[in-house]
Each structure stands twice: as structure tokens, then as C-alpha cells.
């Protein structure tokens, strides 16, 4: 696996962006689409596993920006153009700090801040809401649920299982665990990650690596980071594609219904897969934004 020269690529990046200096001195990269001036709310997109903020421009951010909203996309530490060891997270505490410090930085620039988590990014989004609720005015969860579609992940090969055990037992910070599934995007893009450490999974899911392995084998993502410990006092929108390869519509709807929130909506994105959305598919989300955050 070739490790990209992130610092040089970041220095050469000239499109609109922000650099957030984390409290441990590392730099977190945040893309921007649209402008803050006149935007009734800004959106912070949190990417899924293997990804980074860049592909979310065409995937969704450009459509949101054309609707009059300022949109940001954060690269998690060790992803995209952010500092950090590729495919690793030092600890759950560091993850929480990175997320909440970035949210606070963007909230200071925005009238309102809506956090949008896609796929694994739903975990990140909920972690921000739980740890820094003052900085979040709305929550959107896309392509996320607790119950996986049957057969979404095939049975791992013996060599992959051995690497997983090594990662758990000996080298928790080494990106030995390969992430593979049918329909993945980003293959060939050097800023995508396809190997992760046991420590990364533990930080994101809030359980030990063996617990993560059990969740995927059972098909139920019973992560404490997907649970809100108190009623959600901000608007919530949950959406899923009708052809999502990982989460069936029924599971996403059940996930939405399980969140204690007086102001929540659920929608199905017609013609969408887990990380592929048709042009115009975000019209319900834009309508929701216009209702909840009128210009």
C-alpha cells in the first residue's frame, strides 16, 4: 500500500477549504462547497469507511450548495488530506476531540450547523451530538442502520482472519485488517483507505475489536455510538437508498423509529445504492432543510 504525501498534497490544494488545528497539534482538513454568507445553515458531512471528503462533492455537496447552503466535508484523521497514520485512530478520546473541535470551529462560522453522517459517518455524527450538543442544530443520517442486509459481507478468508487476530492480539495500531465488500468505490484513488487497525474499529464502534468482529458476524451493529442516551432535541432526518447493498430500507426505518426525537422524518432515496445517488435524489433533503432552516 503506497502512503500518499498528505502534507504536500494539502499544500497544493487550492479549492476552498479550512484547516483545523486539533488540540494535539495535528491538522485536520475540511473541504468547502458554497459560501457562508447568506446560508441559513451549514452542513458538515462526515464520510464513511475507506472514504474521505473529496468524492462527496459530486455525490451530494454540490447539490446542497446549489440549493443555497454552505457545505463542509471533514477528512477524519488518517484519511484524505488530514494528518495521522493511515487507517488508524490513536484512541476513542482523540476521535471525540477531533470531531467536536471541528464542529465547534465550523459552528463559530455558521448561523446554524447541521451534521450529516453517511454510513460509518453516522457514528461520527452521533458522537458529536452526544459530546457537543451546543454546536449541532440538526442531524442527518444517510445509509445507516443497526441491522445489516443478509450476506452483505462474505465469509473472510483464513489469511484475513489471521491478520485480524494479529491486529487484535499484537499490533492494535497497525492497519492489518483489510476492508473489502462488493460494490466498493474508490479503488485506484490513493486517498482512499482499504486497511485499518483494530484500534480504529474500537475507537469508531466503542467496543473492543473482538466485539466488532462479533457484530459483523451476527449482522447486528450493536454499537453504543449509535445510541443516543437522551431525547434528541433537534430536527432529525434519516434516509437510505432503495438499492442500498448494506442496509435494507426496513432496517434503516427501524433505526429511525428507535431514536427518541419529536421532530424526525424518514425518506427513501429512489434509485440509490449505499454510496451512489442519482441526480435529484437529494430533493427531499433540501426540502427538509428549507422547512427547518428557512432562508
User: Over the stretch 11-38, which tens digit does the pLDDT of each residue have?
Assistant: 999 999 999 999 999 999 999 999 989 9
Give the domain-ending residue among 166, 188, 213: 213
Assess if residue 33 is contained within a domain: yes
pLDDT of residue 258: 97
Q: Are residues 118 and 182 in the same domain?
A: no
Q: Are residues 36 and 123 in the same domain?
A: yes
Assess if residue 273 is contained within a domain: yes
What are the tens digits of pLDDT across the range 104-163?
A: 999 999 999 999 999 999 999 999 999 999 999 999 999 999 999 988 876 555 455 445
pLDDT of residue 167: 53
Q: Are residues 38 and 128 in the same domain?
A: yes
Assess if residue 91 is contained within a domain: yes
Instruction: Tell me the C-alpha to C-alpha distance, in Å, between residue 52 and each of 98, 186, 204, 261.
Output: 15, 10, 15, 29
Assess if residue 172 is contained within a domain: yes
Q: Are residues 10 and 114 in the same domain?
A: yes
Domain limits for position 192 = 158-213
Question: Of 161, 191, 190, which Cα lies nearest the Cα of 178?
Answer: 161
Q: Are residues 41 and 141 in the same domain?
A: yes
Alpha carbon 151 to chain centroid, angstroms: 22
Assess if residue 295 is contained within a domain: no
Q: At 254, list the grid cell.
A: 427501524
- Is 110 in contact with 36 (CB distance < 8 Å)? yes
pLDDT of residue 164: 54
* pLDDT top residue among 125 and 183: 125
Q: CA 260, CA 118: separation in Å to the nearest integer?
A: 20
- Is 65 in contact with 73 (CB distance < 8 Å)? no
Q: Are residues 254 and 277 in the same domain?
A: yes
Listed in sequence order, the residues at least 6 apart from 160 whose beta carbon sits closer than 8 Å to its beta carbon are: 177, 178
Q: Are residues 121 and 61 in the same domain?
A: yes
Q: Are residues 143 and 189 in the same domain?
A: no
pLDDT of residue 161: 46
Q: Are residues 176 and 253 in the same domain?
A: no
What are the tens digits of pLDDT across the range 31-70?
A: 999 998 999 999 999 999 999 999 999 999 999 999 999 9
pTM of the model: 0.93
What are the tens digits of pLDDT across the range 184-240?
A: 776 678 999 989 998 999 999 999 878 888 898 899 999 999 999 899 999 999 999
Indicate if the alpha-carbon torsion angle 219, 224, 225, 227 is positive or negative: positive
Q: Are residues 175 and 267 in the same domain?
A: no
Q: At 71, which CATH number?
A: 3.40.50.1820
Domain total of the chain? 2
Assess if residue 219 is contained within a domain: no
Q: Are residues 24 and 115 in the same domain?
A: yes
What count of other Cβ atoms lies within 10 Å of the Cβ of residue 92?
16
Q: What angle do CA 31, 68, 264 make, to 5 degrees?
A: 90
* pLDDT top residue among 237 and 1: 237
DSSP state of 17: E
SS3 31: strand
Alpha carbon 113 to chain centroid, angstroms: 16
What are the tens digits of pLDDT across the range 71-112?
A: 999 999 999 999 999 999 999 999 999 999 999 999 999 999
Listed in sequence order, the residues at least 6 apart from 169 whose beta carbon sits closer than 8 Å to its beta carbon are: none
Q: Are residues 258 and 234 in the same domain?
A: yes
pLDDT of residue 59: 96
Amino acid at each position: 500500500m503506497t502512503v500518499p504525501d498528505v502534507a504536500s498534497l494539502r499544500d497544493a490544494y487550492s479549492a476552498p477549504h479550512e484547516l483545523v488545528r486539533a488540540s494535539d497539534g495535528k491538522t485536520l482538513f475540511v473541504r468547502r462547497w458554497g459560501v457562508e454568507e447568506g446560508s441559513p445553515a451549514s452542513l458538515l458531512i462526515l464520510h464513511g469507511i475507506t472514504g474521505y471528503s473529496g468524492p462527496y462533492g459530486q455525490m451530494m455537496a454540490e447539490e446542497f450548495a446549489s440549493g443555497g447552503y454552505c457545505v463542509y466535508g471533514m477528512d477524519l484523521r488518517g484519511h484524505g488530506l488530514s494528518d495521522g497514520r493511515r487507517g488508524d485512530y490513536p484512541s476513542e478520546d482523540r476521535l471525540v476531540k477531533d470531531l467536536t473541535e471541528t464542529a465547534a470551529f465550523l459552528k463559530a462560522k455558521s448561523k446554524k450547523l447541521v451534521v450529516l453522517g453517511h454510513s460509518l459517518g453516522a457514528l461520527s455524527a452521533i458522537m458529536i451530538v452526544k459530546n457537543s450538543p451546543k454546536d449541532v442544530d440538526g442531524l442527518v443520517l444517510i445509509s445507516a442502520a443497526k441491522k445489516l442486509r443478509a450476506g452483505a459481507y462474505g465469509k473472510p478468508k483464513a489469511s484475513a482472519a489471521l491478520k485480524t487476530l494479529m491486529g487484535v492480539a499484537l499490533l492494535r495500531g497497525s492497519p492489518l485488517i483489510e476492508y473489502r465488500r462488493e460494490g466498493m468505490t474508490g479503488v485506484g484513488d490513493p486517498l482512499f483507505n482499504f486497511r485499518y487497525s483494530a484500534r480504529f474499529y474500537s475507537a469508531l464502534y466503542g467496543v473492543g475489536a473482538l466485539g466488532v468482529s462479533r457484530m459483523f458476524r451476527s449482522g447486528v451493529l450493536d454499537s453504543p455510538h449509535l445510541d443516543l442516551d437522551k431525547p434528541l432535541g433537534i430536527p432529525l432526518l434519516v434516509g437510505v437508498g432503495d438499492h442500498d447493498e448494506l442496509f435494507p430500507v426496513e432496517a434503516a426505518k427501524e433505526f429511525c423509529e428507535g431514536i427518541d426525537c419529536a421532530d424526525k422524518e424518514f425518506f427513501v432515496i429512489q434509485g440509490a445504492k449505499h454510496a451512489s445517488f442519482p441526480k435529484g435524489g437529494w430533493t427531499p433533503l433540501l426540502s427538509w432543510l428549507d422547512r427547518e432552516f428557512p432562508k
